[in-house]
Structure 1
Amino acid sequence: MNIPIFELERVQSLFENTVDYNLTESGFHPYTLNELLDKQQIDTLTNTVLGYGQTNGSIPLRKRISALYNGANEENVLVTNGSSEANFIACHTLLEKGDEVVMMVPNYMQIWGIAEEMGCIPKAFQLLEENNWKPDLEQLKKLVTSKTKMIALCNPNNPTGYTLTKEEMKEIITIAKSVDAWVYCDEVYRGAALDGNVRQSFMGMYDKVMVNGGLSKAYALPGLRLGWLVGPEKIIADTWAYHDYTSITAGIMSHYIGEIALQPAKRLEILNRNRTMLNENLKAVKEWLNQYGDLFEYTAPQSGGMLFIKYNLEINSTELAEWLRKEKSVFILAGDCYGMDYHFRIGIGERKDYILAGLERIKQALKERFDI
């Protein structure tokens, strides 16, 4: 097997359903259909013919998605089975063996693994923890070469919640143009800002930009497995060709529900619900962490459903996560999954009582093992 194990996803898949408290979820507590849809919409759903539908995404859904991006229309959109499939298709459309991919880290590391499997050369540029996770754009300038085919970003960032400023986005575009590279940005957390302002997309800033999005994170609808790619019309047509070889189409029920979720009023309702939850939970989690003084260090996220935390204990992050899971049935994501030991990630988009109950288990464990 040439492709490396995707450690972050594998470890979550193994354990997230086997514990009392799963604190690794990076999105928001999911909706039920009854919460999301009215009676007429549910009736329509239950009478939907379960055919294939349009393989690149229904026209109404692609129109809703394109409305989120300046200058886009439905021909700029491919609908996929989640944003993970979007990443896979984008890489196989834009990259060839031997190409360099310069990737923001820490990051959701799927693209790194895909690039390695394809025979590409992944290179990392850093978000700087000591600078509140601002990107090291001087490092990025030095890393790009004539062989750089893609600059891969995650904005808002997983796991730090850092969100690029407009000035940083413009500088990244300038760097990409200098070597004629694609800018590919995972924007699946766009819409999940704590201040409620939807940040600018990279789409439209440069003619070699492709972005992905989806309903799993900012929209709290992971069970739909609905994602998308947005980019130049010709390149999106090429991605459709790859999509025909992967999953062919997203489910027709997901098409229907996704189009409803992205209607302007419903979309605003969803984002407001999740932002309120995020702000309340972040306040509660910060209070919990701060009781320990300098044991935990963190920069509060600007967006997204997670908090990335540094801890000052002499224990490896994977060992810490496994110990908490086995001893207290609470699951955190080890920093090792991002190549950053002595860190862990917890989700802050769940129900507040659930999060605090999980943290209480951690408090008991710290008292028992470290007497703190």
Structure 2
Amino acid sequence: MKVKIHTLFEYLLETTESDPEAFVGFSLSKSPVLGDYLDDLDPNLSLDWNGRSFRGLPELRAHVLRQAGLEQTCDINDVLITAGAAEANYLALRQLLEPGDEIVIEKPGWPQAEVMAKAQGAVIKTGFRRETSGWDLDLEELRSLVTPKTKLIFLTNPNNPTGRLLTPDELAEIVDIARSVNAWLIVDEVYAGLEWSAPRPPSIAGLYERGITTGSVSKALGLQGLRTGWMICQDKNLIMDAVILRENSSEIMNILGEVIAEIALRPERYKTALEDARTAGQANLKELNTFIESQPLLSWTPPEAGLIGLARLGNNLDGGFVAKRLLEPPYKTFLLPGSAYDQPSHIRMGVGGGAEANLALGLSRLSAFLNAQN
């Protein structure tokens, strides 16, 4: 079946040329520039593929295991380097789901799994994260949704877009639920490393033989344009199936993405970059918390991790109306409507982007807009 556009991407397409002056929805850390890597790049680097492995540069795959804490449970052949976490998710979803298979997803959550499942004729079951419980995932509800027909469970941790973290105990219970019916379990970890209130939870690929961890350098490191991510799974056949599917689409990774990502994930460099991202994110999150507390028409559960969260609007305001009106003069400020995640009474607010996001300016303009709605 044809892949249909999702509300989130549709909104981004509509607003790409709006030229906002401020962002209150930036979802990734401040992006480095190419010059930051020139000293570590070989000017004689061939721009052919890496010539060493269709799974990705071995040293890059070793870094991926290290940052995920999986060195003791997985080996580098359990890692496939992909064009971002989006391609990793796509490869797994496309190879695993057949028409009529059941997939369990979360809402709010990253919409890619639902889009792909619909296109492949799968039966979608939804576990809801409820704002009244701090966006917790109801594990009893999750267990009730799983049946012998369940082929796959798709989750995010930290949750995208609420920033709610699954704890180690919750992950262990989710593994038990998946294992009870031999289901695959994908956990997208694009915001891993940016935890504000607890240590980084364990990656699912190390907890379950059918667990699939996906991630990328896009969010925490701000390297979205590299289009470099990964899939980690102990099942050798699953990784090979993904290699085969990619051979019929993008075929190989781009060499510059692989090489720069390898540099970025070198232990000392990664540690410094992550500390910088955490410091900036925490400062912006504090500013955003203070702002929301001061606004009668806004409330939220602050994210436990990651750079984004969902804020509820008062006065029956619609998030789509707010987001589109804010893009117009005199506000010229970008944020995402909650309708992108089936939460129309919310807006997505973010604390990434560095100084270029002009967060303080965006908040002042959002405040002016909200004051006019009272």
State the TM-score, normalized to the length of structure 2.
Answer: 0.93
Unaligned runs of 5+ in 1: none
Given candidates 338, 354, 362, the residue that maps to 2:366 is 362
The 5-angstrom pairing of residues 118-157 of structure 1 reads 118-157=120-159
Q: Does the 8 A contact of 1:12 with 1:24 survive in 2?
A: no
Amino acid at match of 2:280: M
The DSSP-based 3-state class of the residue aligned with 2:361 is helix
- How far apart are residue 17 of structure 1 and its match? 4.9
2:46 aligned with 1:49: yes
The 2-side partners of 1:3 and 1:61 are apart by: 32
The 1-side partners of 2:268 and 2:40 are apart by: 15
Given candidates 335, 353, 358, the residue that maps to 1:332 is 335
Deviations 1:204-252 (A, max 9, x none): 2111111101000122111111011100222111110011112112210
Amino acid at match of 1:216: S
The 1-side partners of 2:264 and 2:313 are apart by: 38
The 5-angstrom pairing of residues 107-186 of structure 1 reads 107-186=109-188
Q: Does the 8 A contact of 1:16 with 1:331 survive in 2?
A: no
Deviations 1:342-364 (A, max 9, x none): 10102111225711111111122
Given candidates 288, 294, 301, the residue that maps to 1:291 is 294
The 1-side partners of 2:157 and 2:167 are apart by: 10
The 1-side partners of 2:137 and 2:197 are apart by: 21
Which residue of 1 is the match for residue 103 of structure 2? 101
Amino acid at match of 2:323: A
Which residue of 2 is the match for residue 63 of structure 1? 62
Q: Which deviates more, 195-204 or 142-151?
A: 195-204
The DSSP-based 3-state class of the residue aligned with 2:209 is coil
- How far apart are residue 83 of structure 1 and its match? 0.9
The 1-side partners of 2:191 and 2:287 are apart by: 21
The 2-side partners of 1:338 and 1:162 are apart by: 15
CA 366–128 in structure 1, closer or farther in 2 if over 3 Å, else same: closer
Unaligned runs of 5+ in 2: none
Q: Does the 8 A contact of 1:133 with 1:160 survive in 2?
A: yes
Given candidates 208, 211, 231, the residue that maps to 1:209 is 211
Deviations 1:252-303 (A, max 9, x none): 011111111111111111110110011100111111111124x211111111
Which residue of 1 is the match for residue 312 of structure 2? 310
Percent identity, aligned pairs only, is 31
Which residue of 2 is the match for residue 33 of structure 1? 34
The 1-side partners of 2:107 and 2:308 are apart by: 16
**4+ runs deviating over 4 angstroms:** none
The DSSP-based 3-state class of the residue aligned with 2:285 is helix
Q: Does the 8 A contact of 1:191 with 1:199 survive in 2?
A: no
The 5-angstrom pairing of residues 172-321 of structure 1 reads 172-195=174-197, 197-231=199-233, 232-293=235-296, 295-321=297-323
The 2-side partners of 1:224 and 1:23 are apart by: 23
Q: Please report the RMSD computed on the Cα atoms of aligned residues, expressed in angstroms.
A: 1.6
The 2-side partners of 1:233 and 1:75 are apart by: 8
State the TM-score, normalized to the length of structure 1.
Answer: 0.94
Amino acid at match of 2:9: E
The DSSP-based 3-state class of the residue aligned with 2:214 is strand
The 2-side partners of 1:310 and 1:125 are apart by: 20
